[in-house]
Structure formats: structure tokens, C-alpha cells
Amino acid sequence: MSSFVGLRRIGVALVTLLATALVLAGCGDDDGGGGGGGATIAFLLPENQTPRYEASDRPRFEEKVEDLCSDCEILYSNATEDASKQQSQVEAALTQGADVLVLDPVDAASAAASVEKARQQDVPVVSYDRLILGADVDYYVSFDNEKVGELQGQSLSRKLKEDGNPSGPIVMISGDPADSNAALFKKGAQSVFESEGVEVAKEYDTPGWLASNAQNEMQQAITALGKDGFKGVYAANDDTAGGAIAAMKSAGIDPAERPTTGQDATVAGVQRVLVGQQYMTVYKAYKPEAAISAEIAVDLAEGKEPSQDQITDQLDNEKEKVPSVLLTPVAVTKDNVKSTVIADEEISPEELCTGPYEQACKEAGIS
């Protein structure tokens, strides 16, 4: 009798174990992350100071991957402007079995080492937004960044002429010297200033793209040149523009009288444009940039050849010609906010037209 009971207990235990295994296997099949057998895509962004990365790039990239590959897993990392941290994040992604890296480098040159590690494991790399230099990169997706600088330079030069100050002089506050895009923005703007005869009285590169650094640089420029020693400001993006404008206000200078450029069409930047504190910004449509990158990444992760329809450029990254998708940037002033960032739903009227900006929105036909 005791033998029968023992055998019965063993049988019940085996049935229970088998049922548990089947349940767990079923749960694994339903998991939209890494358990469903789909490809693994690492999406690595450089910093979270600029609002675009967390507010636009990340959610839109993840959304497009989900649309294309519901059982793909995304390994997301943000390096918070730390190149060493990003290198560790790349290594972690490779250890976790990433099938492809989509990498926006903190430092365009030092990221080459991360690409080499990926290459050693036969993992393709898509350079996102910033071109990785000196490395065997598979694809590059960004904007025509020299054109961005040209748009900034043309807008500022035109405004200086309207104000009766065609030769400036101006203060030039460029971006992070570790960012390959910053050099392209500067190159494009400088080409315009040289052709238009605009004098650059003071010039700075801004570590980390930080507004606080830009504010310090602008304060130095005001101290050196005097309040009347410049007629405009080239600021490489909206954060550096905000820092420069804060410095002007602190010095008792009306920023509306010193046209300032920007880039990224952030909410704060566009608000300043609407009230006349910042003359312009450059709008870059991040939704297609993220979507195209996701399409290429999914194809590569699944061992497919990406569609060549949108790949119309070849950019030199100091090692090879990289197949590239370069989207077109747009200059935004008060006159076309509604037809650009609002029309594309990049910014909603509700988040833009708050408090002191409500009247300016009405005047621009936004609300």
C-alpha cells in the first residue's frame, strides 16, 4: 500500500512539473521582449540634456521597431554625455546578444573602438544622427548637417542686413567639439559668413552642448567686446541659444535687438522665437530619422539587405564612404512655426502656447 502511494505521488509530481514547463514555455512565446525568439536591437543615445533624445528619438524609434517586428527586443541606453559610459553600454549590449547596434556617439572618434568590437562579433552598426569617424560603419542616418549651418548663417546674415549691420560683428557659439555634427554646423555657417562678409569677433566651442557653458562663454564675450561690441549671435542649437540669451539679459542687453540662431526646434526655443528673443531655429524632422533607422536596423538584425531607395548619399567618415540617408532641415522663424513644427505635430499648441506665450501664439495664428 505504501509503495502504491509513493508511486502515485511521483506520478503527480511529474505531471505537475510537465504542466509547469508547458505554462512557462507558453509565457515565453507571448513575451514581446526577448523571449519570443525575435532579433535584438541596441539603441544607444549620447545624452539627455537636449530634450529631443528622450522626447522624440527614443519613443519614435521604439514605436517603429514594434510596428515592424513585434517580437524584437530593444536594448536602450543613454550615455548622459559620458563616452566611457557609452563604451561600457556597447559592450553590455554585445554581451546580451545584440544583433545590430544603432549608435549615436558621444565622441565621434572614440566610438570607433566600439564599432571594432561589434565587427569582431559580426554585429552591424548604424551610425545615428552623428557620424562615427574612422570606423567600418554599415549605414548612417541623419540630416544634411552642413546645410543646417548654412541655414543658420543665411538667416542671421539676412537679419543683420535688415537691421543695418551687414558685417556684424557677431559672437559664434558652436557645439561640442567631440560631436562630429558640430564641426559640420560650424563649417556651413562659416562658409556663409565668409561669403557675406560677416565678421566673427569671438568664437567658442561648447563642451557638452550645455546651456550653462554657453552662458559662461557669452558672458566672456560681453566682457571682452562690451555691450555694444556685437550685433548678433550664432548659437549652434536651442540650448546654447538659451544660455547666450540668459547672459545677454543678465548684462542688460535686449536679446530682441541681437538676433540669435538655434537648432532642434525645442519647445523653449520655439517659444523664444515667437516672442522675439531668439530669431530662428532649425527644424529637423526626427520622426522620419528614427523611422528610417528602425527600418534599416530591423532588416540588418534579421539578416536582410536594407532597401536602397532612401540611401542616396555616400559620406566619408575618414575611413570609407558610408551609405547614408540625409534628410533635409528647415529654417524656422516666427512666420512659419505653424506650417512646420505645428503642422508636423512635432510640438502641440497646448505645450507651446502657455502663459506668457499665449498672445504670441495668437499673433502667429497657432491658437
Give the total number of structural domains in the chain: 2
Summarize pLDDT for 152-176 with one digit per residue, the tens: 999 999 999 999 999 999 999 999 9
The CATH number of the domain holding residue 192 is 3.40.50.2300
Q: Which domain holds residue 118?
A: 40-143+285-327
> Average pLDDT, whole number, for the chain?
91
Residue 8: inside a domain, yes or no? no
Residues 235 and 357 in one domain: yes
The single-letter code of the amino acid at 223 is T
Length of the chain: 367
Q: What is the pLDDT of residue 37?
A: 63
Residues 273 and 162 in one domain: yes
Residues 292 and 305 in one domain: yes
Confidence bin at 197 (pLDDT 50/70/90): very high
pLDDT higher than threshold 90 for residue 6: no
pLDDT higher than threshold 50 for residue 324: yes
Residues 75 and 168 in one domain: no
Confidence bin at 1 (pLDDT 50/70/90): very low
290: left (phi over 0), alpha (psi -120 to 50) or beta: alpha
Asked if 116 and 95 count as a contact pair (C-beta separation under 8 A), the reply is no
Residue 2: inside a domain, yes or no? no
DSSP notation for 64-90? HHHHH-TT-EEEEEE-TT-HHHHHHHH
Asked if 311 and 325 count as a contact pair (C-beta separation under 8 A), the reply is yes
State the average pLDDT over residues 96-101: 98
Name the grid cell of 11: 506520478
Residues 67 and 178 in one domain: no
Residues 58 and 154 in one domain: no
Confidence bin at 63 (pLDDT 50/70/90): very high
Least confident of 33-37, 112-116, 227-231, 332-336: 33-37
Residue 6: inside a domain, yes or no? no
Residue 238: inside a domain, yes or no? yes
Residue spans of alpha helices (H) in 136-179? 145-162
Residues 152 and 264 in one domain: yes
Summarize pLDDT for 252-291 with one digit per residue, the tens: 999 999 999 999 999 999 999 999 999 999 999 899 999 9
pTM across the whole model: 0.83
Name the grid cell of 234: 550664432
Residues 100 and 128 in one domain: yes
Residues 173 and 311 in one domain: no
Residues 203 and 342 in one domain: yes
Residue 255: inside a domain, yes or no? yes
Summarize pLDDT for 22-59 with one digit per residue, the tens: 333 333 333 333 334 689 999 999 999 888 999 999 99
Residue 190: inside a domain, yes or no? yes
Residues 280 and 338 in one domain: yes
Residues 133 and 176 in one domain: no
Cβ neighbours of 27 (radius 10 Å): 10
Interior angle at CA 160, CA 157 and CA 164, nearest 5: 140
Confidence bin at 310 (pLDDT 50/70/90): confident
Summarize pLDDT for 127-139 with one digit per residue, the tens: 999 999 999 999 9
The single-letter code of the amino acid at 41 is I
Q: What is the pLDDT of residue 301?
A: 96
Least confident of 33-42, 71-80, 229-238: 33-42
Residue 353 CA to residue 267 CA, distance in Å, equals: 10
Residue 193: inside a domain, yes or no? yes
